[in-house]
Structure formats: C-alpha cells, structure tokens
Amino acid sequence: MARTASKSLFTADLIVPAIGDAFRKLNPRELIRNPVMFTTAVVAVLLTVLLVVGQDGLAAGFKLQLVIWLWLTVLFGTFAEALAEGRGKAQAASLRATKAELTAKRLKGDGDAHESVAASVLKMGDVVLVQTGDLIPADGEVVSGVASVNEAAITGESAPVIREAGGDRSAVTAGTRVISDEIRVRVTVNPGQGFLDRMIALVEGAERQKTPNEIALTLLLVGLTIIFLIAVGTIPGFASYAGGSIPVAILAALLITLIPTTIAALLSAIGIAGMDRLVRFNVLAKSGRAVEAAGDIDVLLLDKTGTITVGDRQATEFRAVGGTSQAGLAEAALLASLADETPEGRSILVLARDKFGQTATALPAGAEVIPFTAQTRVSGVNFNGSTIQKGAVDSILRAYPAAATTAAATELRRVSDEIARAGGTPLAVAKDGELLGCIFLKDIVKAGIRERFGELRQMGIRTVMITGDNPLTAASIAAEAGVDDFLAQATPEDKLALIRKEQEGGRLVAMCGDGTNDAPALAQADVGVAMNTGTQAAREAGNMVDLDSDPTKLIEVVGLGKQLLMTRGALTTFSVANDVAKYFAIIPAMFVVLYPGLGVLNVMGLATPQSAILSAIIFNALIIPFLVPLALKGVTYRPIGAGPLLARNLAIYGLGGLLAPFVGIKLIDLAVNGLGLA
C-alpha cells in the first residue's frame, strides 16, 4: 500500500515559513481561539507596559527577561501550530498544480462531438470524454468504456488500475491520468466540491474544526486557568496580612507557570498532525471527529471478499447434478454470465471457453437479461422461451420450489456443502426449473490476516465478517481468518440492522465498503471507510475514503485514531504533572522573605528567589518546542490492553512530567546564575 513520504520537521522550507506564520498568528482574533495562550499573551502585554511605567522595586533587567520569555512562550505555541500546518502546504501546492492543468472534452451529445473547456466550468451531470494520455478533469463515474488509470497523483502508487462502467470500480478522481483506451465520465460534483478540493482544504487545515474531544479538553484547560487566576488573585491578601507585598510581575510569572500552557500550546498542532498522518497514509477523513471515533472503536465490520480474502472469486470447476453433462452445465453457465460484468462472471466465461470449448461471445438475438439484485441474489437470461439462472443455492431453490424436492436438489445440496466446506462459494445453475449443477468459486484468505485480527483482539476490538455466502462457506472462511463472528447471506438491510443493534448496545462500530449497496451501512456506522475504487454513492456515504482501496487499512485507521487520542492524553498528563515541580520553584521564592519556614520547600536548592522565578519561566517556555516533534509524530501505539497501556503512559508521561521540571529548572538555574542573569 502506498504511503506519502513523511517530510522532515527540521528543514528550512518548513521552519522559515512557520516562523513568519507564528508572528501572524499573534493576531488577537486568531489567538483567542486558544484561551490559555490568549491569557499568556495578555499577561505578556501587561508586563510589557509595566516594564515602562511600573515602579515595583524589581530590577529592569529581570522584568525585561520575564517579558521576553513570556512572549517566547506565546510564539512557541503559535509556531507549533504553524509548523503542523506547514507540513501539509507543500502537498497542497502539488495538488493545486495538478488541478490547474485540468481541461475537459465535454461531449455535446450522444456521439463523439465535444468541446474543450476548463475543468473549473464543469458542473454535475456533464459528460466528458477522456482518452489515452488525458487527465480526468473532475470526479465522476464511468458511464461507458473501460480504461487503465494511473492514480499516482492522488495515491502515490504508480501501478495502473482498471476503471470501467458498472459494478463497484466505476468511480474516478480528478487529476488521475488515463494511460490506455478511453472512457466517458459523468461528472458527479460541482466546482470546488471535488476530491482534490477537499484534500487541499484538509492538508492546509482550512476546514479543520475542533473535535468534541478537543473542545472538551479546551474547556478543561479554561477551567484550570480560571481556578489558578482566582488562586493567584488571593496571594496579595496573604502577603499583606504578613506585612509585605508581592510585585505584579511575580504574580504574573506564577500564573503563567501554573496554567496549562504546554498542552494548550500543542493542542491544535496535535489535531492537525493527526489528520496529516492520516493523509500521509493515503486516507482522506471528512472530519477529525471520525479519526477520534476510530480510536474508540469496539466492533469492526469487514466484508469477506477483497478484505479477508484476496479479492475477486474465480470460477475453478463445474459440478453437474441430475445427469447433466459438464459441457451442458458449462454452456448454460456461459449464457447466464454473458451479461455479467463482475470479475466472477468473467471468470465463468473464461473457464467455460478454456476447458469446455464454448464459443458464444454475445447473447442470442432478442435475449432479455435478468439483472442481479441483493434481494433475489439471482441473475440470468431469457431467450427463445427458455430461462437460465444462476445464483446462491437457496435462492435458486426458492425460485423453483418444485425442483427443491427432487433427487437433483438433494445432490445439489450435497455438492454445495462440499464446496462450502472447502472454503469456496457454490453458485447454482438452473434452466427452466431443472437444476443443472454448481459452479465452484474459490476464495483465498489473505496472508497474515489472522495475526492482524489477533492484534485487534488485544486492543479489545471484536471483528465481524460480513458475506453474502451461505453459512457453511462463511463459517469455513471465518475459522481460517480468525474473526470473532460472522454474518452470512447478508443483505444491505442485514448490515444496517447489525450496525444499529451494536450501537444500541453502546458500542462504536467501524465498517468499510465500496458498493452502492454498502452506502446505507457506511452512513450509519460511526466510522465508515469507503474505497476510492468504489462507487460515488459509497464515497459520499463514508466519513473516510481510502485512496489505496485496501479494505484491511481499516485496521491501521483504528491504530491512528488511538495514537491521536493517546498523544493528546499523554501530553496533557505531562503538562499537568509539570505544575507540581513549579510549585516547589516559585512558591518558596515568593514567600521566603515573609515566611522563612518555606525555605524547606526549596528542594531544588535554587540560588535566589529571582533566579528561581526566572528559571521556572524559561523552562515553561522551552518545554514547548522540545515537545513539538512528539506532538507532530505522535506517541507510539502498541496493540495491548487498555489497563497496561494506561499504566505505561502514566509511568512515562506522568512520572516523566513530574521529574523533568525538577531537573530542567535546576539546570537552568545554574546557567542563569553562571551568566549573572539574576
């Protein structure tokens, strides 16, 4: 599966623009979106004013250093967000360049007559002609023809893919190139609403909205800020009672070191980077809410074909019943499949022609095609007063009740059970109510899929395989793949009912799909991942689109969602734990003159009160850029249980957040005194 190469964080083309953006983000209208950093900026402005007009007995050099480091605290926060956004801008620029090149051959009628127009003027419903070497001008569906398409501009994968009319591989994306043959494409989006437009907006952060989790955390940080503001506001009263006073600059320094500036500065960067990691994994999420939901998934629904098994089933054998010859079965199966454009249908044609010498290439004159539906699960053809049908065994027997009690039916059930127990899918064939036999469609379980499901089980996620196969085949494949449960003979309504049942039990459900019949289930699921090769209906219904069209990637999406939640939680834990050490640095420094007994709290042995305050402020500022790489790359996720995972993160980020300031502030204190700064 293709992945977009990750760009290094520390390159000039990222750092330099981010520095400029950091200063532009000091605009109060932007800064107020982050209340904690806005509070820090207000305090920095206050101290800047007091530096000029204040008469509080503090050295001007000391106050100047406080002002500088407070402004740096704000700038480091805006820089982190700008750097996170900057990682997506290069990708957006290349996408824009691709979009700017697009022109279209808009058809004027049913023929080949067309006019050349800019892709930007195309609207929903227009039909365009795309020939060898042309870029597809807009998102749409192939309405006629079949072509090889290079999607490297979108997915990063240079291997061509087939796009064709009908079926579940009809969707095409603007900016991809036709490398052979020609197709007609019906435009399915209006200008500015296409796939490229959404990707550009996403990677630039233009459409990023705060997720519910992020909003809740922001409210918590605001609450903590208000509590610390009230607490600091009471300190002058205690000082006055003791017969002294505390300068405003010292109170301001205490407030900034106590409020959760670290996580507040990194919060937006964590969210942007989480979405960016998803894009670099070739998955487009329509909202951050979907990414977070992926991290909390309880149940994972997966289609069998193409997800658990290698892909399209192939016809490998004809098994006749009731005295029918294999050649007669092959002929009937071929006629019933001539109008079947699915890979399974085509494999039946190949088998009938290669092994049994069948030569028919087109339906007889006047033939009427019986289309496949999810309800009937039968397809076929009517011609010359005869009806040939193929489909699931139980569906064929329901269609011909009289045949269900014959000896041929008994033999058919036996043969179909044998095929199912072998892990294959049996398709029954009947002509005018006479059962002819079964077609053996072979399924191959993907290598390593059982281990992947084992990892999910360690995460506490239950896997359910969904298939239209009979229960015997489904049970065989499910046992081989190692899924927790399966749903056989599933209709679109069955999928929808299963999702609703799980959700009513309080569980979050993820599902992937690619067909129009998957659209209701994709829309109902908490996380719906649509395949890029799928139909437009599926892509619109899902809240994520996998550009590589790899259904197993849903497993990685869950891991990325968990990583995002873990990163936010880990850095919040680290930030709050930081404050404990700062109490021991600043509180004794503030009150040691008024309350000499507080000197025992100076466990770090800081040189002077001013040095302690300045060191705490410097550490509070410097810890932000030190944590930027972790915020952007994310905390490493391993598929282990929730309990061990929590214990591990508390040990690393809770204990680490507690100890780091003790070490950091002491080292800064030594440097400050060594340089004579306080």
Burial level of 114, CB count in 10 A (0-12/13-18/19+)? middle
Q: What is the DSSP letter of 10?
A: S
- In this structure, the strands spanning 171-172 and 140-150 are antiparallel
3-state helix vs strand vs coil in the chain, percent to 5: 55, 15, 30
Q: Using DSSP, state whether 132 is helix, strand or coil.
A: coil
Q: Using DSSP, state whether 389 is helix, strand or coil.
A: strand
Cα-only R_g, the chain: 33
- For residue 583, the Cα-to-chain-centroid distance in whole angstroms is 40
**Backbone phi, then psi, for 103, in 5-degree steps?**
-130, 165
Both tokens of residue 591?
Answer: 């009150």
Angle at 178 between CA 174 and CA 179, to 5 degrees: 150
Question: Is residue 184 within 8 Å of residue 107, measured between CB atoms?
Answer: yes
Amino acid at 582: K
Q: What residues form DSSP beta bridges with 177?
A: 135, 150
Q: Of 126, 168, 197, 303, which is the active-site residue? A: 303
Q: Is 303 assigned a catalytic role?
A: yes
Helix or strand holding residue 332 (H, E): helix 326-337
- State the maximum Cα–Cα separation within the chain, in Å, rounded to a whole number: 111
**Could you give the count of Cα atoms lying within 13 Å of 365 in the half-sphere of its Cβ?**
0
Residue 266 backbone zone (phi > 0: left; psi -120 to 50: alpha; other: beta): alpha
Point out the residues that are catalytic.
303
